[in-house]
Amino acid sequence: MENNSEKITIYVMGKKHMVPEDLTIMKAMEYSGHQFTRGAGCRGGYCGACATLYRKKGSYKLEGALACQKIVEDGMYIAQIPFSPAEKKTYILDEIKPEAATILEYYPEVSRCLACNTCTKACPQDIMVMDYVQASLRGDITQAAKLSFDCISCGLCAVRCPAEIVPYNVSQLARRLYAKYIDGPSEHVLERVKEVEEGVYDQDIKELMTASKETLAERYNTREIDLNE
């Protein structure tokens, strides 16, 4: 790819670099000679490894983004936050209940939430972080799970929270509780598992396994396709 883009100035941990203006923060850092070991993961906005804090030229506001998703701007100061120090509590899912007391037992600091909304503003996924923290606080596990679903554990909310809450750990607990106890299993899945265990499909599958390539092709090409809901 020919790159004729204008060059702009960025500061990576204070160090000045000139980079093409249309790069993401991640690519701009690589362009300036960094090879990531930490701070890069999926490179597509799914893993949260590349959490980054930055300030723009002329602004006092500290902002957060995923380095793989944010385009550099002239005069940007950049620091990656590849790790947010926090202990994930350990629990046995089978032995806990989907209620406020569970959340408060493992993460009592949730009750310190000031409802300042700093976390929401820091979230690169535009999640209503404060709202899911508050929902877990009052035991609304369903709401906490649903609101937090798009969380990718980047940690930006946690480093910004004045009450020192680690929202993504709280919501992980809430989501597992919701899925297991409130949403629950699908009956038809359990049914099918039973059928397989009873050997209902063994005969048919054995037949296919020993069939010749021609027979298989014949059966494959003439198989009934039913994609109706």
Partner 1 sequence: MTKLAYYPGCTLKTTAKNFDDSTVASAKALGIELVEPERWNCCGTVHALAKDDVMHHLAPVRNMLRVQEMNSEGQVDSKEMITLCAMCYNTLKRSNQTFNEDSDKKQKIQDIMFKEEATYSGSVEVKHFLETLKEMGWDKVKEAVKTPLTGLKVAPYYGCLLLRPRGIGIDDTDNPRIIEDLFEALGAEVVNFAYKQKCCGSYNTVHMKEVVGDLAHKILKQAKDGGADILATACPLCEYNLGPRQEQVKVQYPSFDSIPVVYFTQLMSLAFGLGDEAMAFEANRPDPRPLLREKGLLEE
Partner 2 sequence: MSDYISGYPESMQESLRKVAESRANRVGKQFTPMTADERHKVLEEYHPDWKMDQKRELKVGPCKGELMPHEVVDILEAHSVIKPEDIDLSNIDYDVDVLIIGAGGAGLSAAILANDNGVDPDNILIVQKLRLGDANSKMSQGGIQAADHPKDSPTLHYLDIIGGGHYYNKPELVEAMVKDGPDIIKWHEELGVLYDKLEDGTMQLAPGGGTSRRRMHSCKDYTGVEITRVLMDETINRQINYVEFTSAVEFIMDDKGQVAGAVLYDMDTHEYKIARAKSTILATGGFGRLHIQGYETTNHYGSTGDGIVMAYRAGANLMHLDSTQFHPTGSAYPEQIVGQLCTEKLRARGSQPLNIEGELFVYPLETRDVEASALIRECYGREKGITTPSGMKGVWLDTPLIDIIKGEGTIEREFAAMYRNYSKFGIDIRKEPMLVFPTLHYQNGGVEINVKCETNVPGLYVVGEVCGGVHGKNRLMGNSQLDLYVFGRRAGVVVAERAKTAEIGKLNLDHLDRYEKWLKEGDVETDRKSPILLPEYRGKKTLDHQLKLL
- Out of 9, 11, 21, 43, the only residue in the binding site for partner 2 (CB under 8 A) is 43
Q: Which amino acid is at 155?
A: G
According to DSSP, the β-strands at 7-12 and 51-55 are: unpaired
Q: Using the rule CB under 8 A, is 105 a contact of partner 2?
A: no
Q: Using the rule CB under 8 A, is 55 a contact of partner 2?
A: no
Q: Please say which residue, 8 or 131, places its beta carbon nearer to partner 1.
A: 131
Q: Measured from the CB of residue 223, what is the shortest distance to partner 2 in angstroms?
A: 5
Q: Please say which residue, 56 or 176, places its beta carbon nearer to partner 2.
A: 176
Q: Using the rule CB under 6 A, is 177 a contact of ligand SF4?
A: no
* Contacting residues for 154 by C-beta, under 8 A, at least 6 apart: 48, 49, 50, 51, 64, 66, 124, 125, 168
* CA separation for the pair 86, 84 (Å, rounded): 6
CA angle, 108 then 109 then 114, to 5°: 135
**In which element (H, E) is residue 19 found?**
strand 15-20
- Out of 26, 72, 123, 177, the only residue in the binding site for ligand SF4 (CB under 6 A) is 123
What residues line the site for partner 1 (CB under 8 A)? 99-101, 111-117, 121, 128, 130-131, 134, 137-140, 162
